Amino acid sequence: MRLGQLTCFGILVLTVAITSAAEELDRFAKWSKIEFAFAGPESRGRAEPNPFAIRLDVTFTSPGGTRYQVPGFYDGDGRGGLDGNVWKVRFSADEVGVWTFRTRSNNARLDGKTGRYSVTAVSRSAKGFWRLGRLEYTGTRENGIRYLKFRDGPYWLKAGCDDPENFLGKYRSYDTLAKRKAAIDYLTGRGVNSLYIMTHNLGGDDRDVWPWLGETAREAMANGGAKARFDVAKLEQWRELFEHMQEQGVVPYLVLEDDSAWKGYDHERYYREIIARFGYLPALIFNMGEEHNENYRLSEALDWMKHLAETDPYDHPRGIHNVNRPTDQYVKAAQVDFTAIQTGSPGSRKGLDNALEHNRIAIDWINRCKSLGQRPLMVGFDEGRPEQHRAAWWAAYMGGGVWEAHVLQPYDRPMSSWEPTWTELGGARAFMETLPFWEMEPRNDLVKSGKALCFAQIGRAYALYLPTGGSITVELADGATYDLAWWNPGNGKDGRFQDKGSVTGGAWRLTAPGDGDWALRIVRVSL
């Protein structure tokens, strides 16, 4: 629950036992993980009374007086063991100075605890996202910005990996923490900066991922309802993985429910546990559920996203999967920030025309937001098809959207098996990040002849994608000199521009330097 305007992000990993008030203040870096442990009643995780039913909330107050109500959680012995007397809260602070906190609980041992601590500047040793602040949606009707932004850092262009969605499950290629970290490192090396991760697929596609206590699906379902109990050891492994992802620059894109999965769990307790344990992470995205329509009407899904928004003090970006056409109900829903579009079923869409269609879809969503007078959604494609066709993500980027690459089965293979997808996707991201993409709009009307898609901030920067190469004519604003450079879409993130030149305003006929598809960057020399 947000009690004031929020700003928080993390890097330091400390655990502090709360004693009395007047000791020297503990110190934490801005945006770092702040973790406090509290001694509650001695408990057994599988016994009654159920320790997971004990509610702990902690109100943090900033030096400026802003308050954030953060859910706490039962953590067994505090080291991954299920039995113990440890309750924790995790937080990240956005303001330098002295903070205070106060607990509230339905258990007397946990209620009314208070404390103070000091927050200092961001640590010089902070890595990855921990240096940049929280990844947030910042768009308004007035500024028209569709892209997410780090509070103390740049705008973020999503270039994500969609598979395997059961990355936390039992596939042999990913069934240990070490293997998962290695996969993240591989993606980082190619420039991929997001990973689609299912956190509950009981009754869904692979049926091997859940946060609840239980070795089998039946046991987990028994522990997921009104008397919910969580697997603290498993969730600690998830935490370690997600923190590694923060350091490596890969956003955990948490999909909270699989398509056609069991929906009889206690949604409120589930959302609360996920936020309590992982909400402090600076870069985190939530999706209510894959192919939501298989279990919920859109109005129901939006209601659950509203509940998640009310529970999350950090206001992490939120969306719902498989709302594939501009829908007024979705556009007007303040609790969602992005689309999660699926185009077709596996293998159903082939060829260049279907790949380029993502450009039109992105533009349609942007135009619908504008026509309704709403803030623009980040237009994200989660399952774009044809799979692994680079023209599809180039088309999305030129349309003002972002991409999560869906790849072909089998999924129990190393990440390298899907190359050159990751390399080429990272290369497209590298191209886009040389431009002020957050200020640009789809402008295919500037292409006067030939086949190309155009993304532009007129008079300042133009990006073009020529899906079949050849020659095009593009209209540039008068009164300026522009540098142009060609980009081979087969490049990776360390690729170089080539065949550079210079042009002035007006209509220019330009020819790609080789066969196949090409991208072109045209930027004003000086303002």
Q: Which amino acid, residue 59?
A: T
d(CA 101, CA 89): 11
Query: What is the DSSP code string of 344-359?
Result: SSTT---HHHHHHHHH
pLDDT at 23: 60
Residues 6+ apart with CB under 8 A from 154: 132
* Closest by Cα among 148, 130, 129, 128 to 138: 148
Please state the pTM of the whole predicted model. 0.94
Taking 50 as the pLDDT cut, the residues of the chain under it are 1-22
* Closest by Cα among 441, 438, 431 to 393: 431
d(CA 499, CA 496): 10
Query: What is the DSSP code string of 89-131?
Result: EEE---S-EEEEEEEEESSTTTTT-EEEEEEESPPTT--GGGG
516 φ/ψ sector (left φ>0, alpha ψ -120 to 50, else beta): left
DSSP 444: G
β-strand 33-43 against 401-405: which pairing, if any? Answer: unpaired
d(CA 163, CA 106): 41
Q: How far apart, in Å, are the Cα atoms of 269 and each of 77, 186, 227, 284? A: 21, 34, 9, 19
CATH of domain 13-126: 2.60.40.10
pLDDT at 305: 98
* Closest by Cα among 517, 340, 524, 506 to 440: 524
Query: What is the DSSP code string of 194-213?
Result: EEEEES--TTSSS----SBS
pLDDT at 10: 35
d(CA 209, CA 170): 8
The domains spanning 13-126 and 130-411 adopt the same CATH topology: no
Query: Options 3.40.50.10490, 3.20.20.70, 3.20.20.80, 3.40.50.300; which CATH number does 130-411 get?
Result: 3.20.20.80
| Helix/strand/coil percent split, the chain, to 5 | 25, 30, 45
* Closest by Cα among 305, 308, 298 to 328: 298
Residues 6+ apart with CB under 8 A from 215: none
CB-CB neighbours of 325 under 10 Å: 11
Q: Cα torsion for 170, 173, 175, 177, to the nearest 10°?
A: -150
Residues 6+ apart with CB under 8 A from 178: none
* Model confidence pLDDT, tens digit, residues 118-160: 999 999 999 999 999 999 999 999 999 999 999 999 999 999 9
Please report, for the chain, the start and end positions of each structural domain, with discontinuous segments joined by +.
Answer: 13-126, 130-411, 439-524
Q: How far apart, in Å, are the Cα atoms of 306 and each of 148, 317, 327, 414? A: 19, 12, 17, 37
* Model confidence pLDDT, tens digit, residues 453-480: 999 999 999 999 999 999 999 999 999 9
* Closest by Cα among 288, 287, 286, 377 to 325: 377
Query: Under CATH, which architecture does the 439-524 domain have?
Result: Sandwich (2.60)
Contact 391, 517 (CB under 8 A): yes
pLDDT at 527: 52
Query: What is the DSSP code string of 222-238?
Result: HTSSTT--B-HHHHHHH
